[in-house]
């Protein structure tokens, strides 16, 4: 089984034991792991799919920076 490079918020929540609401709050506060938004429609900030880079998550988690 291959390891996914980009994870959805639900996958991050399951693998790193971080609630989806915490991820959402961090995005709104511009902190925590960098989120990538794919497929955002023009003039609609709420559209698109959120993904997180696994390597960045692992690096932050290993350094104890997840807050």
pLDDT tens, position by position, 34-57: 999 988 888 887 788 999 999 999
CA gyration radius for the chain? 12
Angle of the 9-16 helix axis to the 54-63 helix axis, nearest 10: 30
> Do 6 and 16 form a contact (C-beta atoms < 8 A)?
no
16: Cα separation from own chain's centroid: 11
> Do 48 and 27 form a contact (C-beta atoms < 8 A)?
no
pTM reported for the whole predicted model: 0.80
Q: What is the mean pLDDT of residues 55-63?
A: 89
For the chain, domain boundaries: 6-63
């Amino acid at each position: 089984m291959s390891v996914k490079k980009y994870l959805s918020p639900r996958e991050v929540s399951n693998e790193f034991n971080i609630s989806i609401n915490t991820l959402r709050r961090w995005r709104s506060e511009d902190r925590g792991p960098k989120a990538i938004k794919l497929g955002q429609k023009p003039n609609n900030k709420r559209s698109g799919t959120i993904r997180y880079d696994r390597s960045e998550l692992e690096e932050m988690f290993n350094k104890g920076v997840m807050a």
